[in-house]
Structures are given as structure tokens and as C-alpha cells.
Structure 1
Amino acid sequence: MASDAATAAAIKKAEEERKLNEWLPVTSSRDAKWWYSAFHNVTAMVGAGILGLPFAMSELGWGVGVTLMVLSWVITLYTLWQMVEMHECVPGKRLDRYHELGQEAFGKKLGLWIVVPLQLTVELGCCIVYMITGGKSIKKAVDILLHDGGPPIRTTYYIMMFGAVQFFLSHLPNFNSITGISLLAAIMSLGYSAMAWAASLHRGVQPDVEYTSRQSTTTGKTFAFLCALGDVAFAFAGHNVVLEIQATIPSTPDKPSKKPMWKGVVIAYIVVALCYFPVAWVGYYIFGNHVEDNILISLERPPILIATANIFVLVHVIGSYQVFAMPVFDMVEYFLVISMKFKPTKFLRFVARNVIVAFTMFIGMTFPFFGGILGLLGGLVFAPTSYYLPCIIWLILKKPKKFSLDWCINWACILFGASLTVLAPIGAMRQIILTAKDYEFYS
């Protein structure tokens, strides 16, 4: 009798979990194609970070800057491959979320404590930065197109305009429902990155261009260098949503999801290279150490092209916000249903998502320090989740032979990523402090 009761309880629990997964945004739809993976990953990767790469180059210099960018591209492609492979590393089970992979490696409780704070900070951090970027892009486009159109409007109000769009879009039910937005965002990323480096070439190398550090003191050079490390780390953030994207792809023993997912990832990373490297290197080559922390700010003409580029950025970050927000919605809704015992209803989803969007909008309006936020987040949370946490999990789950090539590569990635985590936030905090000294809230 006891065994029958236990079996019935297990069946009931499994049925409840199945129904919950059919309601949650990450797992409610599993009919995605391989190309969904491609443009979701492009939308996730090519975002606000790309606009700060020429500035990061100006703090790093040619040698270190080029080396760091290429090395980061290679390392993060490798760690992304690891995550795609580990999605179904347990027979008969899909690890649909980053924290589920962490739980498989570190245990149910420790896995949550290790992964969830990092992943949640990355995703909310991206949403906040996209709020800021979206608002500033609207302001830049309006200022260019209507340069004599009346009194200036505060950046705060432009961020609120961007937030209003997200309040509306955030009520789309799941990942596959934002496919069209994500595709449009991916196209926009190619468009504005091409405009950024093409417009820079059109301007030509500036007469007073210099490739020395913009800082005059050794202390300033050191802190700026450290902050730039975080800027580069921020640019590679797709790992935080890759398992959630893969969860939307159907999978069978004969046709596992990792095959179409990896196909999409490779295409996405080719696009990433075509976007990142020309923008970073051409922007730095043209403007040198006078480049702004957002390359489009350095480009004042031709006005129509720059306004169009900012509109492209706006459309792209609308999609990027949704790609990073969807796993947050999933996490919060799961917590509210499982831990807080709320019923999975449309009203619960409506309230939860509005609160999340309102939170990111409020923080974005209050602390719009674009460059400093990139460096701080890049070092503290992007480096762990993108550069070395997948390697640690790989060592635990796959157990490669000690001192084998696989083992050595993973430890090299871990040491490289850990150094970014330690060093980058130091410079970023200094930059935020310097920027905040003269800042007026909600200006």
C-alpha cells in the first residue's frame, strides 16, 4: 500500500511538473528550427557591448586589444559548444536552464546558489543596459533629426518611452513568440554595426588621432585598462540564455537538439565576428584615443546615416531586451508558483512581468553610466558565466583525464576568465565614481 501511495504521489508530481513546464515561457513551446538558434544568439550577443568596443580598444591599445578580442571570441565559442553538448548529457533528461546544468554538476541546492545569482544579475543587467541604450538611441536620433525642434527632453523620459514598449512586448507568452522580433533585431545588428564602421571610414582618420592611452597618469592608465577588460567580457553574453534557447528546439534520441542548435550557434558566431571586429578596430583606427564610450556618439555626420544607425540600435535592443528578459520571467514565474504557491494564471504573469520591467526601467533611469556599467558587469558576472563556469561544469560532468589536452584547455580558460573577474570590476568602479561625481539624477 505504501509503495502504491508513493507511486501515485510521484505520478501526480510528474504531471504537475509537466503542466507547469507547458505554462512556463522557456519550455511551453518546443518547435523551434535551427535558424531560430542563429538569430536568437545574434540578438543576444551583438548588443550594447559592441558600441563600447572601440573605446575599450583605446584603453587596451592595438596589441592587447586585438589579442584579447580574438581570444575572447575563441574561448567563448568553445564554452558555448560545451553548454550545447551538456544540454542532454544525462540520458533521457533535458537541462533546459543554466541553473539546471549547475544543479547537475554541483547538487540541487549548491547549483542554485552558484548559478542563479550570476545568471539573474547578467540578464537583469543586460535589460538595464538595454533600457539605457534604447533611451539614448531615441534621444540621439531625435536630436539629429529635430535639432531645432524645441526645448531639449531629458534622457529619463526617453528611457521611459523605451520602457513603455517593453511593458507591451513582455506579455508575449514564450520564447518562440518573440521569434519575429528577434529576427528583426538580428538584422538590425548587422545594419548598425556596418553603418558604424562604414561611417567611421567615411570620416577618415582624424587629424589629431593618437593611439596612446587617453589617461595621463600611471594610475589612470591602469584603472582604464582594467575597466576595458570588463567591456570586452560584457560583449560575449550569449551563454546566459543558450540553454533556454536550446530548450525550444525539439529533441529525439535520433535527432538530438544539439545538432541544430550548434549549427545556429556557428552561424551566429560568424555574424558576431563580422560585427565586432570591424566596429572595434576601424572605430579605434579612425578616432584613436578620442573615441567616445559609444561609437555612434563620435559620429556626428552624415546626420541621416547616424540617425538611422541609432534607430537600428533602438530596434535591436528592443529584441535583445526580450531575449534576456524571457529567462528572467521564466525564473520568477517558476519561483512564484513552486515556492510561493501561487496558481499559474495570466494575472500572475501580468503582475510579475510588469514589476520586472518597471524595476529595470527605474534602475536604468537612475544610473545611466553606460561605460562603467559595462565594465563592472563584464568582470563580475559575465566573465564567470561565459568564460569559465561552463569549463568547471565540464570538468565535473565529463571528467577528462588529468593533464590531457581537454583538461589543460579547460583550466587555461578558467584561469583567464577568473583573472577578468578579479581585475575588471576594479577599473569599472573607479570609472563609475568619476562619472557619478558630476551627475544629476534624472537629468
Structure 2
Amino acid sequence: MSSFCVESAGGANPKFDDDGRQKRSGTMVTAAAHIITSVIGSGVLSLAWAVAQLGWLAATVCLVIFSLVTLFTSHLLSDCYRNPVTGKRNYSYMDVVNSNLGGLQIQLSGIAQYGLLFGITIGYTIITATSIAAIKCGSKEVCHTSENWFMVIYGIIQIVLSQIPNFHNLTSLSLIAAAMSFAYSFIGIALSLTKINQGDGHIVRSLTGIPVGWRGLRSEDKVWRILSGMGDIAFAFAFSPLLTNIQDTLKSSPPENKVMKKATSLAIFVTTFFYMMCGLIGYAAFGNDAPGNLLTGFSSFKPFWIVDFANICIIVHLVGAYQVFSQPIYAFVESWSSRKWPKSDFITREYSIMNGKICFNLFRLIWRTSFVILTTVLAMIFPFFNDFVGLLGSIIFWPMTVYFPVEMYIAQKKIPRFSGAWNRLQMLSLFCLIVSLLAAAGSIHGLIISVKKFEPFHTTS
């Protein structure tokens, strides 16, 4: 069993890297697994609903554009991992912004990054409880069961897993979680193809999505739904805040930026393929009646154990994904606390058990446990997964995925203001800002509607 202890520098010790930290062992495969774990989340199952709102053409165009923009800006971000002058590593997204831009933008990037990650952990708690409830209900047409206890169980599991010190110890968990994301995505696609093959003359599909007048749909509602669908797609690609932390797990040779570019290219290609398959095939299977969660549309499918297995895969995946999204928050708070109180044994001292095979820290134990409890309680109070996280995704996509990578690349390469390259990069940034604002407006509208119906701690499926 490998040690979970966080070791300290020791000169030229081969156990440590050039910065005195534990030797990094990450590769393109492990980095891609981390990215896929964070990208192919439960949100992939809502894409059929998004396609229903936008229609075949617009949804396909949106998926392709968001993936290409994310791929381009991710490559820009990977070049910012090391300071071009000193060669010093940047361990987090905020460190990259500090190294290349500085000033107020450091605080703004921190608020955007950690706000998104915090919101996603709440959303994952909600969707995991929903999947557990779906398994409990089985094929019952009417089933009302409280999800609160399921959220508590999920929270207890995360309290235990949160004691894993850092990203470097998450490789196995990420590989398992990535495999689960593939499994339930494949099942969703397979069930959709089966439904298409069975044929149903009542399924209505359209090039432009659900038409005005369909079951009383008004023109303004159609617009809001289109914007909300764009928000869902934007959220599906809002993973840039994690990329620097993932790049920091890579071995120093070959150069981290080259390996990271290959990893992001592979991961984005794979995830976009699955997004297209789940979204377009899911819409083909259900048409205008596409559900918010693709798997909930198969409640009458037999044998039902296949749907149960898909929900189990979602649960296992989100157990790992929660850690991928929460570890940067843990690292930020613990790093700041160590700098603030370097002589405090409560914060810095590591205790070993099982002959040093496992180490724990009192501050890490209390702080991370408190964080998980907070996210669990908030999930129980505000169970609005789609609107809440969709809003976060649409707001954060532009600054974290586009604005900061573009501005840091311009600063690092010293691109002249108003030059051709500068103008093209700024036009890309402006376009993405407009799209993000429109998507945020749709999510806010949906959130307002949800709030009107909500009762705290009364979440049921």
C-alpha cells in the first residue's frame, strides 16, 4: 500500500522534483483520465434535452464551436504552466494568472474558479442522490422518496475520500471514475438506439427543436429554453479551472505543456464525441419529449437492471469527480493557511498511522470534513441541479475558459495591441462573452421558476 503522506523536500533526493515537491509521475493517459473524469459528468445525460430545445442544426453547431474554442484556449493555458523567464511552476489556475497578469485579476480568477468548483460539488451531491433514488424506485411509474438521506450517505463517503492529500494520489480513483462515465454514456446511447429501432410513430423531431405551440409552449418560453440549452452545453465544457492542477501532476520530461496539449486534445475529442452521441441520438429516441436526464426516460425498459447499472456507474463516477473538483479548493485553503501560520502544529504537523503507510493532519481532517458537510447541507436546501450549475457554467465559461487564457497568452507572447493576432483573439473573447451572457440569462430565468416551487429539505424523486 502506498503512503498518503505529504513529504517535504530533500535536496537532490530522487523522490522529489526540482521544486522540492513529491516526484510527479503523471502521463498523457493519466492527465486525459483526470480531464475526462471532470468533463464527462452527469451533465452529458442532459444534452438530449438541450438538443430538443435548439434543434438538430443549432445544437450540433454549438457543440462543435464550444469544443473547438475550449481546445484552442486549453492549449494556450498549457503554455502558461511554467514562467517563461524563470521556469518556475504554477501549481494552480490562480498561480498562472498571478504569474502572467497579476493585480486585481488574481482575485477575480480565484472567485470565478473556486465559485464554479464549489457549485459543482453541490450539484454532484444532488445528482448522485437522484441516481440512488432512481435505483430504489426501480420501474415504478409513481414513486416519491426523499433524497436527503442519500445525500447524507454520499457526504459521508466524500468525508473519507477527502482525506486523500492531493491530486497526485487520485490517479486510480480518476481512472475508475472515467471508466464509469464511459459505461453509463454507452448505456444511454445503446438504450436510445434500441428505442429508435423499436420505432414509435408518436415521436416528433424537428430541425429547429421544439416548435412554438407544442403543448402550450409560448414564443418567449422557447427563447428562454434555447438559452438554457446553450447554458447546459457551456457547462459541459467549463473545466478549464482544473487544467493547471492536472498539468501539475505530469512528469517534467517530456515538457509538461507538450504532454498536456496531447492530453487535452485526446480528452476533448473523446468527450465531444460522447456529447454528440448522447445528445443527438437521445433526441432521435425521444424527440420533443426528451427528458432532462436521459436515463429517466427508460423507466419501462426491460430488463430494468441495465438502467440500474447505468445509475450505479453515475454514482461511482461522481464519487470520484467530486474529489477532482474539490481538491483544488482544499489545496488553496491549506496552502494559504500554511503560509499564514507556518509554526502552527495544528495546521502543518502530519501524524502517521499503520507504520507510516497513511498520514493525516488535524487541520485537513476538520477543514475538509466541514467543507463536505457544507456542500451536503446546501444540496439538501437548494436542489436545483440543472439551473444552479447551468448558471455557474454559463457565467464561468467566458472568464475561465476564454478571457484569462487569451489575456495570459497575449501577455506571455507580448503580442502588440491592435495587431492582427490581438484583434482575432479579442474577437473570439467578445463572441464567447456574448454567448455566455445569453446562456446565463436563460439559466437565471429557469432558476427563478424553480425557486417559486421550492421547499427546503423536502427534495423527493
TM-score (norm 2): 0.85
Aligned with 1:185 (options 174, 177, 185): 177
Aligned with 2:100 (options 99, 105, 117): 105
Kindly indicate whether the alpha-carbon contact (under 8 Å) linking 1:234 and 1:374 is maintained by their aligned counterparts in 2. Answer: yes
Give 1:275's aligned residue. 274
In structure 1, distance between residues paired with 2:437 and 2:251: 39
Instruction: Please tell me whether residue 73 in structure 1 is matched to residue 77 in structure 2.
Output: no
The Cα offsets for residues 189-209 of structure 1, whole Å up to 9 and x where unpaired, read as 111111111101111254232
Identity, % of aligned pairs?
A: 29
Deviation at 1:46, TM superposition (A): 0.8
Deviation at 1:210, TM superposition (A): 3.7
Write out aligned runs for 1:27-38 (5 A). 28-38=22-32
Give 1:227's aligned residue. 228
In structure 2, distance between residues paired with 1:27 and 1:430: 46
Give 1:407's aligned residue. 422
CA change 1:340–1:296 in 2 (3 A) is farther
In structure 2, distance between residues paired with 1:375 and 1:198: 26
The Cα offsets for residues 286-343 of structure 1, whole Å up to 9 and x where unpaired, read as 2122112111112221311111111111111111111111101001112222236653
In structure 2, distance between residues paired with 1:399 and 1:288: 50
Name the SS of the counterpart of 1:115 in structure 2: helix
Deviation at 1:403, TM superposition (A): 6.1
The Cα offsets for residues 125-169 of structure 1, whole Å up to 9 and x where unpaired, read as 111111111111111122217x59xx9541111111111111111
Give 2:355's aligned residue. none
CA change 1:161–1:27 in 2 (3 A) is farther
Deviation at 1:366, TM superposition (A): 1.2
Kindly indicate whether the alpha-carbon contact (under 8 Å) linking 2:283 and 2:290 is maintained by their aligned counterparts in 1. Answer: yes
Deviation at 1:377, TM superposition (A): 1.0
Deviation at 1:357, TM superposition (A): 1.0
Of residues 283-292 and 74-83 in structure 1, the stretch that sits farther from structure 2 once superposed is 283-292
Write out aligned runs for 1:139-218 (5 A). 139-144=133-138, 153-204=145-196, 206=200, 207-211=202-206, 212-213=210-211, 216-218=217-219
Tell me the amino acid that sits aligned with residue 297 of structure 1. T
Give 1:424's aligned residue. 439
Deviation at 1:409, TM superposition (A): 4.0
Write out aligned runs for 1:9-408 (5 A). 28-91=22-85, 92-107=87-102, 109-144=103-138, 153-204=145-196, 206=200, 207-211=202-206, 212-213=210-211, 216-251=217-252, 255-300=254-299, 301-302=301-302, 303-339=304-340, 342=344, 343-345=347-349, 346-401=361-416, 406-408=421-423
In structure 2, distance between residues paired with 1:359 and 1:225: 33
How many residue pairs get aligned? The number is 416
Tell me the amino acid that sits aligned with residue 394 of structure 2. G
Tell me the amino acid that sits aligned with residue 290 of structure 1. D
Kindly indicate whether the alpha-carbon contact (under 8 Å) linking 1:51 and 1:294 is maintained by their aligned counterparts in 2. Answer: yes
Gaps of at least 5 residues in structure 1 are: 1-13, 17-21
Tell me the amino acid that sits aligned with residue 56 of structure 2. W
Of residues 280-289 and 347-356 in structure 1, the stretch that sits farther from structure 2 once superposed is 280-289
Kindly indicate whether the alpha-carbon contact (under 8 Å) linking 1:136 and 1:155 is maintained by their aligned counterparts in 2. Answer: yes
Kindly indicate whether the alpha-carbon contact (under 8 Å) linking 1:44 and 1:237 is maintained by their aligned counterparts in 2. Answer: no
In structure 1, distance between residues paired with 2:334 and 2:132: 31
Deviation at 1:282, TM superposition (A): 0.7
Kindly indicate whether the alpha-carbon contact (under 8 Å) linking 1:27 and 1:96 is maintained by their aligned counterparts in 2. Answer: no
Deviation at 1:386, TM superposition (A): 1.6
Of residues 204-213 and 215-224 in structure 1, the stretch that sits farther from structure 2 once superposed is 204-213
Gaps of at least 5 residues in structure 2 are: 1-7, 11-15, 350-360
Point out the structure with the larger helix share. Answer: 1
> Once superposed, what is the RMSD of the aligned Cα atoms?
2.4
In structure 1, distance between residues paired with 2:153 and 2:21: 31
